[in-house]
Structure 1
Amino acid sequence: MILPKLATSPSVVILILIALFSAVSVARAMVRERAVERANPPLGRFVMVDDHPVHLWEAGDPNAPSVVLIHGASGSVRDFTGDLGPQLASRYHVVALDRPGFGYTPALADMDDNRSLSRQAALLRGALAQIGVTRPVLLGQSYGGSVVLRWAEDAPDSIRALVPVSAPSHLWPDPPSLFYRALATPVVGPILATLITAWVPRSYIAAQVESVFAPQTAPSGYGDYFHPFMSARRETLLVNARQRIALRDEVSALLAGYPNMALPVEAVHGEADPIVPFDIHAVPLARDVPDLHLTALPGIGHMPHHVAIPAVIAAVDRAAGATLP
């Protein structure tokens, strides 16, 4: 008979096993995402910008000068709310926002918008307008530094001053890794993201996130507070990969505007940064932007906002002081 033979043929068995594994992987990914979200609830509140929710956290006196904090790749507001944000809140009104696709701000419906520094900046600018924040000091770390540089070129009148920290600002020679190229592809990416979310150990994800502190180490308790597996949710993996792939072109579009930037800029960058190298980014940014003061941190890597907090706060104070009446 045909049906028994069909049911026991190797190709059918393989297809059934693949279907079962796929179903289990999707279910397991959903369970793990829900678990990390239960362990890591939103810290702040949501505002709507053109029907799109944006998650933000506020601290400090609302009548004080505002400082806005924009996180980097694989980040969230929790990268600021454990230490730097509360310290700044002693004398500023501090707002930290989740970029689209990270933390609790959903990805934008059009994936091209998620890749765009300009579109991200516009969304976050709209969120600040919803809560009445005008002309803040704008601090962006790593990828967030590229966002604030784009923001300054698109809407300079909306900002008091800039503090780019470890910011990718100029072109670098290395192509994106095969891992991110695969995650950014339309067909392979969602499959790979599901497998990562479903099966990669949390300890491995935590180690990868904490490795960005090199040559320093992450502060004690950072992983428990930051919840690195939030960065391994499927949507976040896909958005992060596509943003990384597009970043070089997005940064290239910034270069022509640097000589015309009229804002006070207080850049902070570790001289030992292995991720956004000092000589490739900070040095030419200081050369190209007229009113820029660079704080170079010898021996410091990619995370000054955790391992050199006094230097970052001093940069914010100078940026605010340069523009306050």
Structure 2
Amino acid sequence: MCGIAVGASAAQTITRHRPRRRGAGFARGRANIQDGRAENRARKGGALTIWLWLAFAPVLLLVALVLFTRVHQWRVERRYPPVGRFVRAGADDLHLLEAGAGTPVVMIHGASSNLREWTASIFDDVAARHHAIAIDRPGFGWSTRRTENGHDPRVQARLCREVFRDLGLERPILVAHSWAGALALAHALEFPQETGGILFLSGVSHPWPGGVGWEHEAASLPVLGRLFAWTLVAPGYFVRVDAGIRNVFRPNHPPDHYRESAATALYSRPATFLANADDLTRLKPIVREMAPNYPLIDTPLIALTGDEDHVILTELHTPPLVAKVPDAELEVLPGVGHMPHHVAPETVLAAIDQLVRQRRSSHTA
């Protein structure tokens, strides 16, 4: 009986202790499971956070870049307000500056520019001798760009003609730099009796091999072009502007404070950059179409170009044009790049004076 009693007592002891051991283990197991689940949830939550950041970071970056561009545009426009007045032409309001008296001399800027290109160079000297007019082409500076096919130099020539008529300008001398060379030629072809002469200054007249730069090609793309202009152009301007100015002027040195005096930052606004890209990427087929008609130009034309122009290849544009236009002269400036109105202003002014004299003599003949 003692054995049975002892066995019973042992059995009771085992029975009493066995649940306690099982309960503690079970609790620890449940705790481990819960800890594991919590850890898995934490891992999943961390992964989800990372994926959300990866998904939204580009959106946040784009928003930040657009806001930066808006602030940049606001600051640029406050720093470089309009300096002249506006004249309605077609669907556009064209911004211009005029001074002086006498024979009208209209200065038309090229790509990536505005009328301050002239006030930073020869405008005051021209105004001291003649009636000087500098104009922002449609979409540049402070001129609007609403007219259909506003990229076409022939359309821009028609808009300029409306401005000339509004101002009462009779047979103005057109001083056209770079891209605007095509505009002046279009004006002479379409309105020969209303063109007093052309100073073709490092201008474009014929098709050329190659493109116009990756940034302009990118900006000309549907949808993506606008995104590019509203996100990358403004910050890119600060990175590339000085190198770009040096490249346009080389081998010559830019004037001191050129960025400020020429208000180059106006070009970095989205709408202006897009207009510029449109002009550049769509010009080649237009000058190809215009070129066979150059022999019909009976307006006096002086072509001035530098022999070290790295922007416009002189041999592709200037000599072929002069060979076709009956009353044309060519002067190649040694050691001069794309900006002769800055580097050789006296030569440019002398050419303007010559065209003014020719206009007067033809007017009295």
Query: Shorter-chain TM-score category?
Result: over 0.9
> Which residue of the other structure, out of 204, 207, 224, is the alignment partner of 1:188?
224
Distance 1:268 1:51, change over 3 A: same
Max Rg structure: 2
Question: Matched residue pairs, number?
Answer: 319
Larger helix fraction of residues: 2
Q: Is the 8 A contact 2:90 2:147 kept in 1?
A: no
Map Cα deviations across residues 279-319 of structure 1 (whole Å, 9 max, x no partner): 11111111111100111111111000110111111111111
For 1:146 and 1:208, the matched residues in 2 are separated by 23
Equivalent position of 2:114 in the other structure: 76
> Which residue of the other structure, out of 282, 286, 296, is the alignment partner of 2:332?
296
Matches for 1:1-325 after TM superposition, within 5 Å: 8=48, 11-61=51-101, 64-108=102-146, 110=148, 113-200=149-236, 202=238, 204-324=240-360, 325=364
For 2:96 and 2:350, the matched residues in 1 are separated by 24
For 1:201 and 1:277, the matched residues in 2 are separated by 25
For 2:259 and 2:246, the matched residues in 1 are separated by 7
Greater displacement, 192-201 / 302-311: 192-201
- Give SS of 1:32's match: helix
Cα drift, residue 13 of structure 1 = 3.2
For 1:132 and 1:177, the matched residues in 2 are separated by 39
Unmatched tracts of structure 1, length 5 or more: none
Give the aligned residue type for 2:275: V
Q: Is the 8 A contact 2:92 2:147 kept in 1?
A: no
For 1:126 and 1:209, the matched residues in 2 are separated by 33
Q: Is the 8 A contact 1:33 1:197 kept in 2?
A: no
Cα drift, residue 12 of structure 1 = 4.0
Map Cα deviations across residues 110-151 of structure 1 (whole Å, 9 max, x no partner): 4xx122111111112112222211210011000011111111
For 2:300 and 2:277, the matched residues in 1 are separated by 32
Q: Is the 8 A contact 1:266 1:318 kept in 2?
A: no
Percent identity, please: 32
For 1:289 and 1:265, the matched residues in 2 are separated by 8
Map Cα deviations across residues 193-221 of structure 1 (whole Å, 9 max, x no partner): 12224422525224313420111011122
For 1:168 and 1:237, the matched residues in 2 are separated by 20
Q: Is the 8 A contact 1:270 1:302 kept in 2?
A: yes
Give the aligned residue type for 2:206: H
RMSD: 2.0
TM-score by length of 1: 0.92
For 1:143 and 1:120, the matched residues in 2 are separated by 12
TM-score by length of 2: 0.83
Unmatched tracts of structure 2, length 5 or more: 1-40
Cα drift, residue 268 of structure 1 = 0.8
